[in-house]
Structure 1
Amino acid sequence: MATAAADKGWESYPKRLLNYDPLREDGVSYDARLAKDNKRLFTEKGNINVDVLDIFRDEFVADNKKPTTYQDTDAFEECLTSSPPNREFRFYTLKPANPKVISRSRVAIPEDTLRKLLTVHQVMPGFIDFLQAFGRRASSSDTGFGGCKRRIEYAPNSSKQRNMKSYEICYNIKFAEEHGRKEKEDEPPKDPWSIRQTCIYQKFEYEKKSSTWIMVQPSDKATTRLNEVFKARAEEYIEDTMHNPMDIHLVFLSGAAENWRWYYNYLENKLYETTTGALSSAVGRRGKTVTFGNYNQHLDFEVEFKDVQELQRFEEKVQSLLLALETNRDTITTLQKHNDQLRKCGLGLEEHHFTAVDDSLDTYLTELAIYKRNVEALLQRIRGRSRLLYNILDYRNAETAHRHGQKNVDFAELGRRDTDLMMKMTKRTTREAVAVKIVTFVTLFYLPATFVATFLSANCVKFVEETVNGRIISRMAVSKDLILFAAITGPLMCITLSIWFIWDRIEKRRVIEECGDKPNRNLE
């Protein structure tokens, strides 16, 4: 097959790859997915930030050996075409566009430039599956994606498995890291840990004895360790013609396993701080208060529904950790199979080269199994504490309902007593009303006679007897006292009614002002 220009056909990657097989890969789908996720995954044209590190066989890696950072698209594309014959490793580091949100940030490379990179190095299409786990996301979706994809290409017309031409391997590895983000400058972060991921791709070409690596958003510690590894083994690489090409994977795997222990300890302490009070919560008795100097601590554990919600979020975080451990375990298991297949191919290496990698991978698997067992036990404790919180919450609700029911009984008893009192008062009022009715009837019966007797006894009217023509005639004469009575009583009545009228209007206006309303003529 004739080899065209290095980046020819990059526009339709991966359909123009030299080893593209439509039976195994759907090139149309990969092409469409890259275009669809352009804004989510990649930066705009001209916005690039990629590190390139070349390691040569005859080079001593000094302390100041640093990758070349490309922030110009043309310069980076020119770098793609360079291929020195003595180059043993080339590392491309695709960094996040926003370092503060690693693993959820876009990759700092335009889509067109990435297509050229993948076309020049004939990267297998499966790399796109792992790349799509990055990019901007509103939530931590797709965190469960992982695994490992690999492909071995043998020399044409080869009947022996040893005649390997090249291999490609790509996987996603997850790790825990302290992000350092703070909600407030003067306060420590509430949740200082996060689970991140990095994508590792390697293409090893047997004839050139060289490897091309693409690392998507690796940790700073991993890139630093790479330089340390090459510096420490510089002389060994000069003496030996070749090392196991799987060696470098151990750098990323060991770095990913480094913080699991501390992250697990943080989660365990967090669970203790959040729910330890539930184990000593007062049930059926009033909680005690213990005084330590000037500090009072209430030993009872107050449970609210938000505590259950917080524990549920905490459980989901631990489940994400368990999923990350299982994903890394599957990845390492696949790397073991790949190393065993390389052993069968030979590659001109001694057995100890493969055994060393197997031993390291076995160690990582053992550590992951321990962490996985601890996390599963932590999950069981979380679920037990969650049930305990629910039971405490139900018990407290039952206590509250019981207290409310008892108060309702007390209120009902008070209401019954009030009803009995009202009935007694009603009966008494009825009896008093009968008595008042009798008194009123008697009063009305004697009132006219009393009025007449009082009027006549006041000497306001007198009967005078006169003799006219020898006959005695009686006539009624009005006394001057009646005129005086009327002259005094009339003004006093007017004054009394006037005072009552004025007082009544003043009281009505005061009531209206207290109510805050405008004067109402009906009240007046």
Structure 2
Amino acid sequence: MDSVAGMALAINSDLYWTRFDAANSCFEDESADLLPIHILDVPAHPQSPSAHGHMQPQAPQQFSALKTLGEFLAGPNKGVWKYRLISMCQENSWSKLQITRPMLRRIVQHHEIAPDFLEVPLSFFDRSTDEEQSFCVPWTLREGGDYFEMFYTFRYAEYKGHPNEPYVIRQTGVYQKFHLKEKTCLWILVNPVPDSAAHRRVVDAFLNYQKEMEQNPLWLHCVVLASYFPRWREYLAAYEKRLLPLADTTAAAFIAEPLRVNHETLSKLRSLESHFMPTPAILQSFLDTLSELGSFSEKLLAHNCIHANEVRLFAILVSKYRRHALTFIRTAKFLQQRSNNTATLVSDTVAFKNQGVAQEQNGNMLLLTRSAVFLTVLTLFYLPWTFMTGLFGMNFFMMDQNTYRFVTSPKLWVYFVSAVVLTACTMLLYYVISGFPQLRKGRQSGGDGGIGLRQGLQRGFTDPEKSGGDGKKWS
């Protein structure tokens, strides 16, 4: 088995194509109205160079159907371009890619793209919750006989302006195929929204900065990354601005005074913590991509595809991004820890306040209990006297005025029978009122007086988006 065949077997291309065919949530149906994909070519041998000395690119083409796309790829443009950009997008960042499976298959097969590239479009799928919020397709490099292929995805913060959630986390996919002999480049850009910042900047680079692209085949990666990377500082600053008032209010709370924090404050703090938590993982993936880009520039230098000065300048730029990324990581970890500590402080403060209220209520209950004991003692002291007064005050007893003797009525038994019946009815009523709900609760929980197995294992949704929220609306 030769090395190329061994590499193909190790990649297991069938697995990627199987996942590709089964991914119903990633690609639109052929009958759907699609947003067009854009293809922009810079010809290899232009007839009329521009005034700036670079090739005049052809007009961008837009395709929304397999037939027109196939005709373009098989047309006279085949093999005559030096740089080609294929840009596809989602309708919004939580929807399907605006391309059908046959169209993407045609692009991959026509340009002989490695099947493991399918990992990139499979990361853009229709969803209603923020799934895979920190996952990024890692930098992947494949070496052919006379070409290199590289691809990855990276996530970034995007300002939305919604009052509750001003920022969202989006992702962009990048693919490049560079031929060593012809010095041609194929670029594929997967955007989360139409007309994204990366799409606009890359198109501008194709139109006006071909010299930079020719001097450094990796220069366009920095263009894409620089479109979004600085926004991480704004993202962290926006949520830190929300964290500081909550932290200051919690630190200044006094147990003896009415609290200005409650369970709603705790919920806000945990929400802020969830915004800081995935940032270090996302930026660490960004650092890995930067490291691989720096290493690959050295490899291009060994193949005489880039000048040493360009490698040095590229290394300086990568080092600058690395320092900023490390700073953002430290900031995110600090803010996550501070929000967690503040949430813990809020929880402890509320618990201490509840303990103080409970202790005060226990003191009041102790006073009431002492009063009840005093009243009970008085009742026990006077009860026999009251009973005797009531008993002899009834007409069952009379005094003979001549002999001064008590005369007892023969119907005295009516009093005792009535008292016994009334006492029995009172005890029965008390048992029904106080004992029957406990008996019914025990039966519902399995008859053992505890929590039933089914009731104990039930679990409801805690994520408002999973329980029918409008997470898609603000994507």
Q: Compute the TM-score of the two structures, normalised by the length of structure 1.
A: 0.68
1:210 aligns with 2:189: no
Residue identity matched to 1:317: H
1:171 aligns with 2:171: no
- 1:26 corresponds in structure 2 to 12
- 2:27 corresponds in structure 1 to 42
- 1:72 corresponds in structure 2 to 65
Shift of 1:78: 1.6
- 1:302 corresponds in structure 2 to 261
- Return the alpha-carbon distance in structure 2 between the equivalents of residues 216 and 415 of structure 1: 77
The answer on whether the counterparts of 1:50 and 1:71 sit within 8 Å (CA) in structure 2 is yes
- 1:335 corresponds in structure 2 to 293
- 2:164 corresponds in structure 1 to 190
Shift of 1:382: 1.5
Cα deviations across residues 87-146 of structure 1 (Å, max 9, x unaligned)? Answer: 2221111111x32xx1x2111111111111101111112212222221012432233233
SS state at 1:90 partner? strand
Distance 1:318 1:56, change over 3 A: same
Shift of 1:46: 4.5
Shift of 1:260: 0.6
Shift of 1:231: 4.4
SS state at 1:204 partner? strand
Cα deviations across residues 64-98 of structure 1 (Å, max 9, x unaligned)? Answer: 987322123211122222435552221111111x3
- 1:405 corresponds in structure 2 to 362
The answer on whether the counterparts of 1:280 and 1:301 sit within 8 Å (CA) in structure 2 is no
Shift of 1:232: 4.2
1:321 aligns with 2:279: yes
- 1:388 corresponds in structure 2 to 345
Identity %: 18
The answer on whether the counterparts of 1:308 and 1:386 sit within 8 Å (CA) in structure 2 is yes
Distance 1:438 1:52, change over 3 A: closer
- Return the alpha-carbon distance in structure 1 between the equivalents of residues 58 and 372 of structure 2: 90
Shift of 1:394: 1.7
SS state at 1:150 partner? strand
1:87 aligns with 2:81: yes
SS state at 2:262 partner? coil
Residue identity matched to 2:209: R
- 1:226 corresponds in structure 2 to 202
Cα deviations across residues 244-284 of structure 1 (Å, max 9, x unaligned)? Answer: 1111111111113120110010111121244432111112x
- Return the alpha-carbon distance in structure 1 between the equivalents of residues 40 and 176 of structure 2: 14
Shift of 1:207: 2.7
The answer on whether the counterparts of 1:173 and 1:256 sit within 8 Å (CA) in structure 2 is no
Shift of 1:317: 2.0
Residue identity matched to 2:127: R
Cα deviations across residues 473-505 of structure 1 (Å, max 9, x unaligned)? Answer: xxxxxxxxxxxxxxxxxxxxxxxxxxxxxxxxx
Residue identity matched to 1:167: F
Distance 1:245 1:439, change over 3 A: closer
SS state at 1:132 partner? helix
Gaps of 5+ in 2: 406-475
Q: How does 1:50-449 map to 2 (within 5 A)?
A: 50-56=37-43, 58=46, 59-60=49-50, 67-82=60-75, 83=77, 86-96=80-90, 98-99=91-92, 102=93, 104-143=94-133, 144-154=135-145, 165-180=146-161, 188-217=162-191, 220-233=196-209, 236=211, 242-283=214-255, 285-287=256-258, 300-304=259-263, 306-347=264-305, 349-430=306-387, 432-433=389-390, 436=393, 440-442=397-399
Cα deviations across residues 305-345 of structure 1 (Å, max 9, x unaligned)? Answer: x5434433332221112221111111111111111211111
Q: Compute the TM-score of the two structures, normalised by the length of structure 2.
A: 0.75
SS state at 2:144 partner? strand
Shift of 1:170: 0.2
Residue identity matched to 1:174: R
Shift of 1:218: 5.2
Shift of 1:209: 2.1
The answer on whether the counterparts of 2:64 and 2:99 sit within 8 Å (CA) in structure 1 is no
- Return the alpha-carbon distance in structure 1 between the equivalents of residues 5 and 104 of structure 2: 19
Deviates more, 1:129-138 or 1:198-207: 129-138
Cα deviations across residues 213-244 of structure 1 (Å, max 9, x unaligned)? Answer: 1111156111222233344435x47xx9x321
Cα deviations across residues 331-366 of structure 1 (Å, max 9, x unaligned)? Answer: 11111111121111112x321122222221111111
The answer on whether the counterparts of 1:332 and 1:365 sit within 8 Å (CA) in structure 2 is yes
SS state at 1:94 partner? strand
Gaps of 5+ in 1: 1-17, 155-164, 181-187, 288-299, 449-524
Residue identity matched to 1:211: C
- Return the alpha-carbon distance in structure 2 between the equivalents of residues 249 and 380 of structure 1: 33
Shift of 1:193: 0.3
- Return the alpha-carbon distance in structure 1 between the equivalents of residues 315 and 62 of structure 2: 34
The answer on whether the counterparts of 2:43 and 2:55 sit within 8 Å (CA) in structure 1 is no
Distance 1:286 1:393, change over 3 A: closer
SS state at 1:199 partner? strand
- Return the alpha-carbon distance in structure 1 between the equivalents of residues 384 and 115 of structure 2: 98
Residue identity matched to 2:74: T
Shift of 1:404: 2.6
RMSD: 3.0
- 1:461 corresponds in structure 2 to none
Distance 1:311 1:25, change over 3 A: same
Residue identity matched to 1:213: W
Distance 1:55 1:425, change over 3 A: farther
- Return the alpha-carbon distance in structure 1 between the equivalents of residues 79 and 125 of structure 2: 35
SS state at 1:355 partner? helix
Residues matched between the structures, number: 390
The answer on whether the counterparts of 1:93 and 1:218 sit within 8 Å (CA) in structure 2 is no
- Return the alpha-carbon distance in structure 2 between the equivalents of residues 212 and 317 of structure 1: 36
The answer on whether the counterparts of 2:27 and 2:96 sit within 8 Å (CA) in structure 1 is yes
- Return the alpha-carbon distance in structure 2 between the equivalents of residues 366 and 286 of structure 1: 46
Distance 1:209 1:62, change over 3 A: closer
SS state at 1:123 partner? coil
The answer on whether the counterparts of 2:301 and 2:307 sit within 8 Å (CA) in structure 1 is no
- 2:435 corresponds in structure 1 to none
Deviates more, 1:215-224 or 1:26-35: 215-224
Q: How does 1:493-504 map to 2 (within 5 A)?
A: none
SS state at 1:191 partner? coil
The answer on whether the counterparts of 1:169 and 1:202 sit within 8 Å (CA) in structure 2 is yes
